[in-house]
Structure 1
Amino acid sequence: MAVRDDNKQKIQRRSANWPANFWDYKFVGSLGTEYTGERFVQEINTLKEKVKGMINAGNTRPLDKLELIDAVQRLGLGYHFEVEIRDALDLVRETYLNGGGSDMNNLYSTALLFRLLRQHGFHIQQEAFEIFLKKDTFGSLHQEDVIKGVLALYEASFHSVKGESIMEQAKVGALNHLKSLDMGKLKTFPNNLARKVERALYMPLRWTSNRSEARWFIDIYEQDLAMKPNLLRLAKLDFNLVQSQYRTEVAQLSSWWTELGVERFDVLRDRLMENYLWGTIIAFEPRWSDYRVMLIKIGNLITIIDDVYDIFGTMEELEILTDFIDRWDISGIDKLPPVIRSTYMALYNSTNEIAHRIMRDRGINVLPCLQMMWARHCKGYLREAKWYNSGCKPTFEECIVNGTNTIGCFIMLLIYFIGMARSLDKEAIDFACNIPPILYNAAFIVRLLNDLGTSQYEMARGDNFKAVQCYQNPHRISVEEAREAIWSMVEEAWKNMNQLEFEEYPSFASKDYLNACLGFARGSHFFHQYGDGQGFSDKETKEYLMSLVVEPVSI
């Protein structure tokens, strides 16, 4: 049965009252790319050789080597030196296991080694910390070296896996003692130790995006007493060079978005730049530019189709729309009102274009997989719409299983998998479409954090019950207790992610793809840990986007 067009019969529709888009796309499209010139590229290449020599130097103390690697990574430069860093860590690990290195027997050096080794896939036993926890580890917190050790232990604890009771004990103890510090007194210590503690308590390194950390740490490192000028110079130039790449991408995306024309519908979220931020958190490196643009197109389509199902469409319209998506058909779309018709056409045409681009570049037809992903995704939306319209309250399990599917990870990460896979055939595509566990855990984290961050807004406008409410009522607990329980699930899912990094994967599944799964979970911490930084684009989101795309680092 045809749905009447809005112009023929006025349908009472809900509104989310989304704030207007903050960004002027003409301004975004006009940003220059001044750091891509040959002079800057030549200097960067020269500096990279110098830093490579620093990492490879054989006469460096193990702790100095670890601190150098840590600085390189926190400055956002690790992607240039992946082989050198892994080889250097392997040597330090051998020295440590053989009992060598007099500077490697304290809490700070042990925790730093533990974090860096686990980050790079080396397994190191939690028992390394047993001796420190038996001592009065947290006793003399006024001493700089003790505070550094406790901070390093706290950061290391976020790389633990399930069943590691020593690491759990370490995290609780380190967190309690860092919170108890006199921050006024701590600010008298050198090397911005107070700011490092505040930063870790706000967002641990494991959950922090590469570009956010790089921008922040450049300022911190510049004031470090042991700062290496060549490394700092490289970090600044590289940040600006990557930013120039991002400016090219957002110009391309803003042109695509305005040409689609769906941004003129004020009932849908215009969040192109916020979705762009997601793409850079998932995988920031310039080499993924083409696939980052594809992923962000998919992300933007997910945002507006979500609004169609959540807010705008009637059940009859949504049933028809889901049927179109399931059949991947556009004949007869005049049955739908203009907003939904335009949204579906944008989804249909953009997805077909992306599939054509991938076929051209990688020689494989991924359209059937993308179609299947979209159908599964939108059937999940339809299920949520039915819950809402029937007044049905799902169980917590139903809410989370369906919500993990509709959060968007599976479709978006398929794009990065295709770009990052070492080889592509039916087996590889099936692997991605069947949702490997590391991807599922990432989506699970994103769903839980999304519900924690957005539930107050969505419940206020009368949306479906979220994970908090679905967990709260059957357990007869308060909202705050439900939120704490769900936060514990987030932490457990991260332990699963940490363990899954050590698993064996098929040869086509690159480390870059596994990192992209981790990046998706990190993105949700940025956007949703303290609210809805995407739907309502808070001050923090806007400031970070300015630093990421608009404001270069001072050279």
Structure 2
Amino acid sequence: MSLPCNTQLLHKFSSIHHNPSLTKLYPSRHRSLAQLPINININMNMVLIITDEQGITRRIGNHHPNLWDDDFLQSLPRSYDAPCYGERAEKLIKEIKGMFNALHLHSSSADDLYQHLSMVDDVERLGIDRHFQTEIKAALDYVYRYWDDMNGIGCGRESPCADLNTTALGFRILRLHRYGVSSGALLQFKDNDGQFLYSNAQSNEELKSILNLYRASLIVFPNEQALDDAKAFSTTYLKQALPNISNTNLSKEIKFNLEYGWHTNVPRLEARTYIDIYGDHKNTKNIFNSKLLELAKLDFNMIQSMQQQELQILSRWWTESGLSKLEFSRHRHVEYYFWAAGACIEPKYSSFRIGFAKMSAFATYLDDIYDTYGTLDELKIFTQAIKRWDLASMEGLPEFMKVAFKAFDEGVRDMARDAEKTQGRDTLDYARKAWEVYIDAYMQEATWLATGYIPSLEEYLENSKVSSGSRVVTLQPILSLDIPISNDVIKEIDYPSKFNDLLCLTLRLRGDTKTFKVEADRGEHVSCITCYLKDNPRSTEEGALDYLNSLIDDKLKELNWEYLKTDNVPRTSKDHAYALSRGLQLLYKERDGFSVSKFETKNLITKTMIEPVPM
């Protein structure tokens, strides 16, 4: 490595140990770098390895610092808090409900099915559908009366022929609302050779039809070849058509859907994007379109003000908890809040959003302690102390472990108190047991790392379903929602349910495929890639990635089924758990968007939670 790079890293290391805030935690290090009795080795991958005064070797992941300064967050103006905005929104909601209801009376039989579906699609993509649940149910019940699993539907209830655009749009929306619809309705749009029919004209109408076919193809269950074929065809068609599309807004809509699809899209991002597209694409001189757009903008900004207030609460907690002083770890509480807030916007679910951010932060601090900073001997004692849930058991351990455990223990207790308000029972022991299993899985991975053991892929994934952290960061927040869940029902979305297994597994697989190189640079050589290569020594890294990405696709299809099938689990609970899975897929879309959050993740947070929509 060149001298300038070494100098920069030494300067960074020096600045860490000159930070006055660390004096309490690491008093022996509050001296100049030249005075510190430690050895520093900087490897070619920019990872710091230190040996402290006791001769203990520690690794520091060289993560970038917190991007969201508390002073900045506390200064956010929350411009749409004033009561007048809520009053205007309520007036618009009432007027739009009237227009929804009038559709049954005034729509033409030539296109009434499409009009019903289009209205539902618009309010959902604009992020305001929670205000119109009764109207949406009535509209979809109406459409479903005319749905035919063999023939689909036409534009209107009296249409003699099925229409691809209406059938594809109807299939997607009806399936997402758990109506029983079959993908076989799309088969009639194929020719005798099994190819989807299309013209060479690439008109706006055909482009919209193919776009809706693509969107429908993403809501796929296992063994639905018709939807796999639809996805392959529509993806190719739209990508080839894009350079020739003169309609700028249609082009934007197609690009957004191709880029974010379904599993890497979250409602908040879609709403922010579709507001711009809708404003340019629809005829806003139409009174309904105009009111819909005004409500969408107003609602977005009001929710954003609420989110900014919650960010301020979260940031104060982070500072006061002492976690901000753990310089070796990733400080990503804001990113985790975005993960939850990207899908959950109901004002009454503040505890869910803030609680999820806290639980995720705890999982990350523990991850960095187990994966990098703690020694195996320390971790053994730390694990047993956590499982006793007693700070006094931390005696003799380093101060950073005490700080992490104290905040963690208090956070789990706080969430249990929130859950008790809804559940009517004490769930603290239940949550603690989930965390204990999680800690054991971390300890297993730390042992593998310390001993150089590479498990089989099956062994690794079985442990990873727990160590991925999906269960522990979602369990208590879901219990804080306003729906009581009995002990029997909670098992259908919690461990060891198929739904929970798939959530955890897809999280781990997606994470590993994006982080295995960086983690290997930090000396963490156990990942699904290395385990697959151990099982298949003749394979290559590229072959391993192909296999694992295919496995992710298959598991996401299974997850779709587990999510949308009819069962006893309250829909709200399942919706929020599934939405968190989509948020994870989004944040790992390009890279590990938590460890490296200064690019795509920062832009997403700025776009959805910091900058209001121009009115």
User: Which residue of 205, 217, 236 maps to 1:176?
Assistant: 236
Q: Aligned AA for 1:92?
A: V
125 and 428 in structure 1: CA distance in 2 versus 1, 3 angstrom threshold = closer
Alpha-carbon distance in 2 for matches of 1:185, 1:230: 32
| 1:210-359 matched pairs, under 5 angstroms | 210-227=267-284, 228-359=289-420
Residue in structure 1 matched with residue 443 of structure 2 by the alignment: 382
Alpha-carbon distance in 1 for matches of 2:428, 2:550: 38
Q: Does the CA contact (< 8 Å) of 1:442 and 1:520 recur in 2?
A: no
Alpha-carbon distance in 2 for matches of 1:286, 1:479: 45
Q: Aligned AA for 1:229?
A: S
- The number of residues matched between the two structures is 546
Of the structure 1 ranges 424-433 and 390-399, higher mean CA displacement relative to structure 2 is found in: 424-433
Correspondence 1:65 to 2:116: yes
414 and 282 in structure 1: CA distance in 2 versus 1, 3 angstrom threshold = farther
Residue in structure 2 matched with residue 367 of structure 1 by the alignment: 428
Q: Which sections of structure 1, spanning at least 5 residues, go unmatched?
A: none
115 and 430 in structure 1: CA distance in 2 versus 1, 3 angstrom threshold = closer
Alpha-carbon distance in 2 for matches of 1:104, 1:499: 30
User: Which residue of 202, 206, 210 maps to 2:259?
Assistant: 202
Alpha-carbon distance in 1 for matches of 2:440, 2:546: 30
141 and 529 in structure 1: CA distance in 2 versus 1, 3 angstrom threshold = farther
Residue in structure 2 matched with residue 105 of structure 1 by the alignment: 162
Residue in structure 1 matched with residue 62 of structure 2 by the alignment: 17
Which structure has more helix as a fraction of its residues? 1
Q: Does the CA contact (< 8 Å) of 1:6 and 1:337 recur in 2?
A: no
Alpha-carbon distance in 2 for matches of 1:174, 1:6: 62
Q: Does the CA contact (< 8 Å) of 1:269 and 1:304 recur in 2?
A: yes
Q: Which sections of structure 2, spanning at least 5 residues, go unmatched?
A: 1-25, 29-52
Q: Does the CA contact (< 8 Å) of 2:128 and 2:296 recur in 1?
A: yes
Residue in structure 1 matched with residue 177 of structure 2 by the alignment: 120
Residue in structure 1 matched with residue 126 of structure 2 by the alignment: 75
Per-residue Cα deviation, 1:480-508 (whole angstroms, up to 9, x for no partner): 222122111222122112222343322xx
Could you tell me the TM-score, scaled by structure 1's length?
0.94
Residue in structure 1 matched with residue 43 of structure 2 by the alignment: none
SS in 2 for 1:283: coil
Q: Aligned AA for 1:527?
A: L
Say what the alpha-carbon RMSD is for the aligned residues: 2.0
Aligned-residue sequence identity (percent) comes to 28
Of the structure 1 ranges 417-426 and 145-154, higher mean CA displacement relative to structure 2 is found in: 417-426
Alpha-carbon distance in 2 for matches of 1:551, 1:252: 19
SS in 2 for 1:13: strand
Alpha-carbon distance in 1 for matches of 2:486, 2:166: 44
101 and 216 in structure 1: CA distance in 2 versus 1, 3 angstrom threshold = farther
Residue in structure 2 matched with residue 398 of structure 1 by the alignment: 459
SS in 2 for 1:331: helix
Of the structure 1 ranges 71-80 and 101-110, higher mean CA displacement relative to structure 2 is found in: 101-110
Per-residue Cα deviation, 1:34-90 (whole angstroms, up to 9, x for no partner): 312221111101111122223222123211221111111001111221221122011
Alpha-carbon distance in 2 for matches of 1:467, 1:301: 24
Alpha-carbon distance in 2 for matches of 1:491, 1:184: 28
Correspondence 1:491 to 2:550: no
Residue in structure 2 matched with residue 445 of structure 1 by the alignment: 506
Deviation at 1:428, TM superposition (A): 4.5
Rg larger for: 2
Correspondence 1:46 to 2:104: no
400 and 343 in structure 1: CA distance in 2 versus 1, 3 angstrom threshold = same
Could you tell me the TM-score, scaled by structure 2's length?
0.85
Residue in structure 2 matched with residue 132 of structure 1 by the alignment: 189
Residue in structure 1 matched with residue 587 of structure 2 by the alignment: 527
Q: Does the CA contact (< 8 Å) of 1:47 and 1:230 recur in 2?
A: yes
Correspondence 1:482 to 2:544: yes
Alpha-carbon distance in 2 for matches of 1:142, 1:431: 46
Q: Does the CA contact (< 8 Å) of 2:593 and 2:601 recur in 1?
A: yes
Alpha-carbon distance in 1 for matches of 2:426, 2:196: 61
Alpha-carbon distance in 2 for matches of 1:79, 1:398: 42
Q: Aligned AA for 2:75?
A: S
Deviation at 1:409, TM superposition (A): 1.3
425 and 154 in structure 1: CA distance in 2 versus 1, 3 angstrom threshold = closer
Q: Aligned AA for 2:309?
A: T
Of the structure 1 ranges 28-37 and 366-375, higher mean CA displacement relative to structure 2 is found in: 28-37
Alpha-carbon distance in 1 for matches of 2:260, 2:533: 26
Residue in structure 2 matched with residue 185 of structure 1 by the alignment: 244
Q: Does the CA contact (< 8 Å) of 1:364 and 1:424 recur in 2?
A: no
Correspondence 1:456 to 2:501: no
Deviation at 1:433, TM superposition (A): 4.6
Q: Aligned AA for 2:187?
A: E
